[in-house]
Amino acid sequence: METHEYINGEITVIWEPKKCIHAAICVKSLPQVYRPNEKPWLKPENATPMELKNQIDLCPSGALSYKFNTKK
């Protein structure tokens, strides 16, 4: 399945477009991050990792997920 990854320091936002149901919860919750009329449409640098995590946890379709980046 196609995925796109957007990195903000310690968190990577993962978007799976085919899962997206366009509920727009992301856009309403963090409009400074999710900008559907821009490319790239997702700008994770405009929020803290915790703000991103909390918003992604609300995604009803599971199209948005995240992973924490750890140093090896």
DSSP H or E segment with residue 15: strand 11-15
The per-residue pLDDT string of the chain (72 residues; one tens digit each, 9 = 90 and over) reads 799 999 998 999 999 999 999 999 999 999 999 999 999 999 999 999 999 999 999 999 999 999 999 865
Q: What pLDDT is recorded for position 72?
A: 59
Q: In a 3-state reduction of DSSP, which class is residue 50?
A: helix
Q: What pLDDT is recorded for position 24?
A: 95
Q: What pLDDT is recorded for position 25?
A: 95
Whole-number Cα distances in Å, 10 to 14, 21, 39, 50, 53: 13, 27, 22, 10, 11
